[in-house]
Amino acid sequence: MYLTIEQTAEYLNLPVNEIIRLIREQQIRTLVVEDEVLIYQEQFNLFLREMEKKKRERDEYYQTPIPEDPDVKDED
């Protein structure tokens, strides 16, 4: 199923400008048919899943405690 930019923005509850920014940065692909820009919904869903995966990985990285430095306890 293909959605217009406005439909995609409504579907994702994002401003139209954000969708246009993603298109301009080539983070999502589009199809132009008779001067109308269309976004394949499943491709966009894949993009969202990848962004969620990156966010989880980043959060997990930030939650990992920093190991103690072995040199700190070294008393010469």
Q: Locate tokens 């306890």: which residue?
A: 73
pLDDT digits (tens, 9 = 90+) for 4-62: 999 988 988 889 999 899 889 988 888 889 888 888 888 777 877 888 999 999 999 99
Contacts of 11 (CB under 8 A, 6+ apart): 3, 41
Give Rg (Cα) of the chain: 21
CA 15, 18, 35, 6: dihedral to nearest 10 degrees? -20
Question: Does the global pTM surpass 0.95?
Answer: no
Decide which of 15 and 67 is more confident: 15
- Grade residue 66 by pLDDT with cuts at 50, 70 and 90: confident
Residues found in the chain: 76
